[in-house]
A and B are shown apart, each in its own frame.
Chain A
């Protein structure tokens, strides 16, 4: 009886959390932006499958803490892709609240808009490296 209840609770929470995660991802338009950049909107079904597999894979790794000694090079590749996704994610978040148009307009920026994006990207890379190198992260 208790197990049945637990199963129902687990199923329901998974259901809602999955909905939330996908809604956030779709709502922020990260995937759509990446699809737009690569001009591959005709294969959008595969992306849905990839999100599904990634979600299940991530859940298995974090919940069951299985050991999969594939090697550090898999991690390097994974880290790169994680980083690219997070980079897009952060930009999507700051886009929601219109940071750039507001600043550019208030300060009357007309030149070198692309340099702002480049310096920001460099700042993110160095900031992130610094946090890890100095072991500032908690945990």
Chain B
């Protein structure tokens, strides 16, 4: 009766050094606990890793390593068939540096937002439209800077905050904000692109 090892690897795994044990990158489950513990200490061959960056591996590499040690073990892969090892830089940016960067992007966002709303308002001719609305609803001629314009401007800011679900975070901390969701989706897309580009290169190398 052959044993079955269930293997689950995430799409993107962060590691710090070139020494990668299978236990660091994969979740494993097997009826024989001793087997799992032994396999978790096995090393993944990582010659292709040269310094920090992203490297694509196939789950077949992992299965090779396992079957060298346990030829009769049946491996059942439940996770990704290709995965990325992200080798992090040794020294991390200090908190101060990363806050400074955030402040810079805040300045970027501030001036960019101010400019783009002006361009947008001009583009759709909002001044004319507000003048017409003002005349329709009050019967007087608008002087171009009325309560309508002020309340609209405040509303734009509120709309952005509501759109990004800014007030809900305090209610439910486990709920990710739309910006975080978008960040995640974008990173997932990058991983998929890298894996598929890698597969294409391998096919080219073989033919």
Contacts and interface: CB of A to CB of B under 8 A. Distances in A.
Interface of A: 30, 33-34, 36-37, 61-62, 65-72, 74-92, 95, 98, 100-105, 107-133, 135-139
B58 to A, nearest CB: 25
Contacts of B106: 112, 115-116, 119
A85 B133 CA distance: 17
Contacts of B134: 75
Contacts of A114: 166, 169, 177
A72 B147 contact: yes
Contact of B146 (A68, A72, A139): A72
B183 interface: yes
Contacts of B168: 37
B137 A84 contact: no
Contacts of B122: 131, 136-138
Contacts of B149: 79, 128-129, 132
Given A34-B162, A91-B163, A122-B157, A131 B121 contact: yes
Interface string B88-123: 000001010011011011111111111111101110
B197 interface: no
Contact of A90 (B98, B104, B127, B160): B160
B126 A80 contact: no
13 contacts: A72-B137, A75-B147, A76-B147, A83-B155, A85-B155, A85-B159, A90-B116, A90-B159, A119-B109, A119-B110, A120-B110, A124-B160, A128-B121
Nearest to A87: B159
Contacts of B105: 103-104, 107, 109, 116
A69 B140 CA distance: 9
Contacts of B132: 62, 65
Nearest to A110: B98
B187 interface: yes
B70 interface: no
Contacts of B51: none
A91 B111 CA distance: 15
Given A69-B137, A70-B137, A138 B102 contact: no
Contacts of B138: 69, 71-72, 75
A45 to B, nearest CB: 22
B179 A113 contact: yes
A94 to B, nearest CB: 8
